[in-house]
Amino acid sequence: MGALHGAERMPVLRFVPVADLIPHEQADQVRTEPLVQRLRTEGVLKNPPVVAPIPGEPRYVVLDGANRVEAARRLGLPHLVVQVVDYEDPRLVVEAWTHVISGEDPQAFFEAVRGIEGITLEPSERLHARAELARRQALAYLSCPRGEIYLVRAEGDLYRRTALLNLLVDAYKSRFRFYRTATDQLEQILSYYDQVIAVVVFPRYEPAEIIELARNGARLPAGITRHIIPYRALRVFIPLEIMAAPLSLEEKNAWLADWFRRKLAAREIRVYEESVVVFDE
């Protein structure tokens, strides 16, 4: 646990209009409704969504927290507290999640994928698959427990490929169990998950691609991008009452600035430099 050593380590928290928050990925409908109910019951926002300004616009692209933003819309909140970050900060890293597909019917999984018009599967080997993914010559690749590797091929521009990527994830997300993990190492994955059918490995997206997709109304599937945020704000517990209040944006941000000063004065803010593993989320 570290002490506070300068404003550069402090997260930028701000009230912004919910209407100005543009997700770059689909909201997970399975998770959104329980989140709406929990927000209603608890009456506080625990962890603010992370957003980046869209250059030349008053809007923000949501980097993490699409479900919280969607829940705020469903609750009719006019404003939401967010953490605003600089997308060009070299400490901010964009990685990709890997999906682990689990189930009892591998044939059904592969039939579902092969049934997507515009997508083909091509046998490959791991090193070549990684290279093709890095060059964006593949939409994704599949790694199977018995060692088979398949490139997921698709043609078209960024928007066409994004639409096909959504169809790929839709083909399994409601029919099979799937989990997100930060590794594509099959040996590690098999030691943690049962009945693994395949591991779906996705490419890394550049910030410019994410902003372009979001500002034009396109969405990546939920659980593809993984943003590693420096000095992430957690456990803020902002009351929904203040978000719903009929106050101006200026008044709410003045309230937030005073709240922040009181937190600092009470020494209730801590900065953790080391990686943290949380077991109660």
Q: What's the mean pLDDT in 196-222?
A: 96
Question: How much is the pTM?
Answer: 0.90
Pick from 113, 100, 101, 111: nearest CA to 176: 101
Strands (E), the chain: 12-17, 21-23, 44-45, 50-53, 60-64, 79-84, 93-96, 98-102, 119-124, 140-143, 149-154, 177-181, 196-201, 225-228, 238-239
Reported as a single tens digit per residue, the pLDDT across 69-122 is 999 999 999 999 999 999 999 999 999 999 999 999 999 999 999 999 999 999
Q: What's the mean pLDDT in 250-264?
A: 96
Domains of the chain: 7-92+227-265 (3.90.1530.10), 98-201 (no CATH)
High-pLDDT (> 90) share of the chain, %: 86
pLDDT at 4 over 70: no
Pick from 94, 225, 206: nearest CA to 158: 206
Q: Read off the pLDDT band of 277 (50, 70, 90).
A: confident
Reported as a single tens digit per residue, the pLDDT across 210-246 is 999 999 999 999 999 999 999 999 999 999 999 999 9
High-pLDDT (> 70) share of the chain, %: 97
